[in-house]
Amino acid sequence: MLKDDLLQTEFSRIEMDVSISPACWLITCPIIHMGFCPYETTIELEAEEVVKTDVLICGKNVSRRPYGELGSVDKSSICCFQALHSNFGPIMPGCGCDGEKVDFAVAELKKRMKARGDTGQIKRTEELLKKFNALDAKLDLIMDHLKIEKPGALAMEGRPLTPIL
């Protein structure tokens, strides 16, 4: 049994609209940013990866990343403006003053990164290795009880190797 409940957690899918406010987008004038600033941004937190979708005047950009590849997820603040920073780049919901949404996104991403990122994979691998060692010990006890000879370490030596097709 895994000791850390977070590693066993099945995460539900969460979709968040982290778009810039239409008023802010229009005030910055699409001519200034030439349509390259997305007017609609969503992030979908799936079980094993996060998906960021940016809708621009000229098209749509979809990026997928496993939680282990997000790098760091941080919140930054300048005056009342707050943003989430990760390998996806900065995300400023609303006009940049939606601190609750930024806090929720940062906390949820960090929780998922801990469970599904590199640290989570290492912990799950260590737990599997412990289970394997316990099963190996039990198998040895059963073989001893049934008086079955244990195969030698080099029991397969001398047998021809057949390729798997």
pLDDT reading at 162 higher than 90: no
Spell out the residues 6+ positions from residue 111 whose beta carbon is closer than 8 angstroms to its own. Answer: 6
pLDDT value for 39: 82
Classify domain 5-118 by CATH architecture. Answer: Roll (2.30)
Q: Which residue has the tokens 């290492």?
A: 122
3-state secondary structure of 10: coil
pLDDT level of residue 161 (50, 70, 90 thresholds): low
Under 8 Å between Cβ of 5 and 15: no
Determine what percent of the chain is predicted with pLDDT higher than 70: 80
Average pLDDT, the chain: 82
Determine what percent of the chain is predicted with pLDDT higher than 90: 25
Neighbour count for residue 115 (Cβ, 10 Å):
21
> What is 58-84 written as a DSSP string?
TEEEEEEEEGGGS---EEEEETTEEEE
pLDDT reading at 27 higher than 70: yes
pLDDT value for 2: 43
- What does pTM read for this prediction? 0.65
Q: Which residue has the tokens 């919901």?
A: 93
pLDDT value for 153: 58
Interval 72-116: pLDDT, tens: 899 998 888 889 988 888 888 888 888 899 999 999 999 988 887
CA dihedral 122, 127, 129, 135 (to 10 degrees): -170
pLDDT reading at 154 higher than 80: no
Domain ranges in the chain are 5-118
pLDDT reading at 28 higher than 80: no
Cα(87)–Cα(99) distance, integer angstroms: 20
pLDDT level of residue 31 (50, 70, 90 thresholds): low
